[in-house]
Structure 1
Amino acid sequence: MEINIGNMKKRSILKLIFFSALTIYLPLFLIVGGLGASGYDTVTLNGGNVYGVTAVIVSLILCVIFSFVGAAFLTLGAWILGKIRPNSVSIVAKQKLEDVREVFE
């Protein structure tokens, strides 16, 4: 079975990259928001530091924005690369267990 990136919709690629980036950024931004809620100068909005529950909310909004912008650029890059040189992913069935045992004997 072979999957071509050119056959995938740009929206599907964007969703995959967005949720991958979100899982990376979310713990970091939650820590930063928690520190801002505790009184540290970690969250800045319009040149001023934000504290309390507002810091957590602002950090979550910034997390979504950072993830979307990064995903948009990576999707654009994947789309351009797919136009220049089409890429594909091949899925190969695993060998039978008996074939593997013969190799190691």
Structure 2
Amino acid sequence: MPTITVLPHAEYCPEGDVIEAPAGTSICEALLDNGIAIEHACEMSCACTTCHVVVREGYESLGEMDEAEEDLLDRAWGLEPTSRLSCQAILSDRDVTIEIPKYSINHAKEQHG
């Protein structure tokens, strides 16, 4: 089972974390399932950029990016060449390291339960 190393983020994961998730799971689902409450204002429907992450290691192992995700990422804060929407980034059998950007374009935090 692949692991996701989450680099420290002051709000979502202050100490950083290493979590496991089955291949075929999105990074967003894996984070939420492991108590890391990343924003996902569109409920993981690829309609916003609040779940944007930067993949520091293992980018090439993730499922391929489609045109909808590419178009949305253009609006993400802190866009980098290895940026992905975590709701669309599907794990394979390789480990990844991610960084959650400091900001998102969502000014009002969503409350998901």
TM-score computed with the length of structure 2 as normaliser: 0.17
Which structure has the greater CA radius of gyration?
1
TM-score computed with the length of structure 1 as normaliser: 0.18
Pick the structure with more strand per residue. 2
